[in-house]
Amino acid sequence: MKLVIGLGNPGPQYEHTRHNAGFRVVDRFAERQGWKWTERRSRAVIASGMLGNEKVVLAKPITYMNLSGEAVGELVRWYKVQPEDILIICDDLDLPTGKVRLRTRGSSGGQNGLDNIMLHLHTDRIPRLRVGIGRPTNKRMDPKDYVLSVPTDDERILLDAAEERATETIQMVIKQGFATTMNIVNADPEAEQKAAEKRQRQKERQEAARLRREAAQSGLISSE
């Protein structure tokens, strides 16, 4: 069984804010699977179903972001799952808008909801999928105000793409596991392209060297 928890703040006033990226991702995933948010348990709303042979429970804590650990701790005890069977979806200030990153352990990075979850579960070995929202361009803007504000139209396009990729990542994790999914999701496309170009140049140099050797050998044979 997998317990997938999207973090955010309850209430329509927070629905479109940067901080509610986690809620939007699990909402999108539930809609795609045709699962309904019909259950409430342990201070969270629940949608669940089967993905292949795997039971999957989606949850949205209604405790507000900073107290997410209270709901998550109760859910973990209720469903009797281990931390490695959890996936937390949350926003991240330190990740550029539009980027996603998957990790199986590490610090909270200052994300208060994740920090509270780690406090209640007494471990940092909690898989998390972070959706980048970037930092405010106005250096004087309080980060607390920033995360609770609505992104600009341009940012919304990037954030929507990131939330879509995060939605796809949930399914990849469940079907392929964390290790394989991290290799795919965390890959830097530009770095991959540069590496591919480097491999191609090496291949071309090796082929050119082979042709020179053959030409040299051919010259020796004909001269005899």
Residue 206 is which amino acid?
A: Q
Which residues have a Cβ under 8 Å from the Cβ of 161 and sit 6 or more positions away? 98
Please give the radius of gyration of the chain, using alpha carbons only, rounded to the nearest integer: 23
Residues contacting 199, CB < 8 A, separation 6+: none
Amino acid identity of 76?
V
Amino acid at 57: V
Residues 120, 73: Cα–Cα separation, whole Å = 6
Name the active-site residue from 16, 19, 120, 122.
19
CA pair distance 191, 181, nearest whole angstrom: 18
120 given a catalytic annotation:
no
Rounded (10°) CA dihedral 22, 25, 28, 30: -70
- DSSP SS3 for 177: coil
Helix, strand or coil, per DSSP, at residue 2: strand
Question: Which residues form the catalytic set?
Answer: 19
